[in-house]
Amino acid sequence: MTCKLTTPELRERKETVIASLKQQMMEKRDLKNGYAFRFPGTDDVLDELMEFIKTERECCDFFIFGLSVSGDKSEIWLELTGAAGAKDFITAELGF
């Protein structure tokens, strides 16, 4: 598993989008082949998560994304999983 972003692109992404999501993360749960992350249910966070997913689909096409959004805007869950090795990749490359 490798990310298709170049090192400078990946570094910039870690400093902006990924850093922002890490700050807003409220909970992290272990899944068999990845993790589930809970975020505040605001529209801004939802927009940010959608942008994250769109970009990650381009550079890390081995991920499987699941997004669960509460209707009352209380929380959003992002499930980030994949084949064998995805969990280690999430920790090592994304720092989640």
In this predicted model, which residue has the larger pLDDT, 65 or 11?
Answer: 65
pTM over 0.75: yes
pLDDT, one tens digit per residue, over 10-61 is 667 667 888 899 999 999 999 999 999 999 999 999 999 998 998 888 788 8
Residue with tokens 């090795």: 85
C-alpha distance from residue 81 to each of 30, 35, 36 (Å): 10, 6, 8
What's the chain's length in residues? 96
The 3-state DSSP class for residue 27 equals: strand
* pLDDT attached to residue 96: 84
Q: Does the pLDDT at position 65 exceed 80?
A: yes
* pLDDT attached to residue 88: 92
Burial of 58 (0-12, 13-18, 19+ CB in 10 A): exposed
* pLDDT attached to residue 13: 64
